[in-house]
Chain A
């Protein structure tokens, strides 16, 4: 206790300066901790990206079974006609194999590009016998040269595993020919189904729970608690649910038999629609929770001014509450959809195909998705599939980033109209 300059007694004492210094020191420690946390996350992200890109580019050692120059002038297979390609296939390949190709999709109906790809795989049959990472390619050229010299008849090529061909080619047992076309379409279908199913149902349920349901009634409270719990359930459980309900119980619907047009190879419930509905269920609770938070954040003054003018509940919701919360609803939904795109476990349970090369054409087709494909590739014994998987990861990341970018752009547009 001491006297302040006014002469009155003060309990703050004379050590004011020390006190402030101590408080500031305390604050600085937290500041450093926060900074460190951010640095760690950014470093982790950089390591992840470096690791991926290290596997996407690099030198490869290739050996051709039949050099393409023997099959087509200049080695350009696509310059041949459809007939020439088919006769090449029939000349080099077994009858049984040709019959199988015809069963998958008649050769005569395939395009020149598809046939040329088939010739490339089955006849030219280039094999990557060794692949080096970007780091090795840049810094260990001696090792690569030595390896090349040890394998006569091979060529060394710089290869980007991520290429236009990679994007448009279907799955293939040979790493250098494998592509993600089928998986990409599968993921695209998933996104569409999830948007069409989970988004409207989730937002509608959020509106009901937030605006109509009276929380003092016991069953509404039970519903509320359960939705929060559902959001935390491991995704594999949703996979089991999807297997039981969509694949098994609703098979006539999800296989498409009741709607007629069935794909004979897939007349069971392990179809795109089953997987899409399973993922929709998985993210429904997340969309509901996010949308409810968004609706809850609308200031009550906005509702009151609407009601005060004689608006009905629905007019208030439609004209004021939803527009005011839509940007947040959108962000929450996109985050939920990103989660759905990245899911693997439930789709494995529901029955994603391990190997398909035909584009999914209807809701009742067999399917595979990007994460499933990545998972399978990284589990293959050939080391080159790790490069393929890395390229697919880049595609998956780009897909997610562009979805998030769309969300941010839409959100900024909406908010700009509403705020100053």
Chain B
């Protein structure tokens, strides 16, 4: 094992009631790497992502088997608090969902509830700067965040996530609702963020996976078909089905 692992799963099975959405998923997510999860709609990418920060705990009648480790700690352990897991493993959702509060409060709230004791103005500014949003919003920090454009809202959501200093950021199709310019901005941002964070991103956009990720995992019906270096998956897939999906003949 050359890189340090930020997270890994071992033989993870996941069930919505009687329906099994994930089968024996074992995946490694290297620290400070960007891993892309790809696969056709309904194959379980979001489900895996939501397992990684125990967001699925919120859905009644779900259950999982197997283990997920954050660093070397199992996150389903008896003594592990899901609230702590979610702070260390942040999440950005497919649809931008800022709080219906001011831009400032959107960043400050997460920090405050997690007991941040530093200078709040400074935290807001640096978080927004990291997400290349500061120049666009510095004049209107006290305005409602819902007044921002979709792309700006999504960057605000990323800023809000990094303000609580997670180790891992999960992104579920963060650009699917955005135009090419906003998408490019967010991709640049991901490239920038990987220096400090481990990023796991779900995307339907193959070019995007190719541009931003080092590792890629290809899913089909809840099963990992192939996982490895992005360049290998894209240019030397071992599996016929991977090649078919990537070249667009499938799925």
A residues apposed to B, CB below 8 Å:
214-216, 301-312, 315, 319-320, 324, 418-420
Contacts and interface: CB of A to CB of B under 8 A. Distances in A.
Q: Which of A305, A312, A315, A420 has the most CB of B within 10 A?
A: A305
B58 A418 contact: no
17 contacts: A214-B60, A301-B93, A301-B97, A304-B58, A305-B98, A306-B99, A307-B58, A307-B86, A309-B86, A310-B83, A310-B86, A315-B113, A418-B100, A418-B101, A419-B144, A419-B146, A420-B147
Contacts of A307: 55, 58, 86
Q: Which of A306, A309, A418 has the most CB of B within 10 A?
A: A309
Interface in B93-132: 93, 95, 97-101, 109-110, 113-114
A305 B157 CA distance: 9
B161 interface: yes
A307 B84 CA distance: 10
A310 B99 contact: no
Contact of B146 (A215, A319, A420): A420
A216 B60 contact: yes
B149 to A, nearest CB: 12
B164 A310 contact: yes
Contacts of B160: 309
Interface in B156-201: 157, 160-161, 164
Q: Which of A310, A418, A420 has the most CB of B within 10 A?
A: A310
B239 interface: no
B84 A310 contact: yes
A305 B93 contact: yes
A214 B55 CA distance: 17
Contacts of A301: 93, 95, 97
Contacts of A418: 100-101, 144
Given A319-B109, A420-B147, A305 B97 contact: yes
B93 A309 contact: no
Contact of B83 (A304, A312, A320): A312
Contacts of B90: 308-309
Nearest to A315: B113
Contacts of A304: 55, 58, 91, 93, 97
Chain B interface extent, by class: 20 to 34
Nearest to A319: B109
A418 B106 CA distance: 13
Given A305-B93, A305-B99, A310 B157 contact: no
Contact of B164 (A302, A305, A309, A312): A309
Nearest to B160: A309
A311 B55 contact: no
B58 A308 contact: no
A303 B99 CA distance: 10
Contacts of A319: 109, 113
Contact of A310 (B97, B101, B114, B146): B114
A18 B41 CA distance: 42
Contacts of A324: 100
B87 interface: yes
A102 B151 CA distance: 78
A214 B84 CA distance: 23
A320 B95 CA distance: 18
Contacts of B91: 304, 308
A320 B83 CA distance: 16
A419 B60 CA distance: 30
Nearest to A313: B83
Given A309-B114, A310-B113, A419 B95 contact: no
Contacts of B97: 301-302, 304-305
Contacts of B79: none
Given A216-B60, A216-B61, A301-B95, A309 B110 contact: yes
A303 B58 contact: yes
B100 A309 contact: no
Contact of A302 (B58, B86, B99): B99
Contacts of A215: 60
Given A216-B61, A312-B83, 17 more contacts: A216-B60, A301-B95, A305-B93, A305-B98, A307-B86, A308-B93, A309-B87, A309-B90, A310-B83, A310-B110, A312-B113, A315-B113, A319-B113, A320-B99, A418-B101, A418-B144, A419-B100
Interface string B61-98: 10000000000000000000001101100110101011
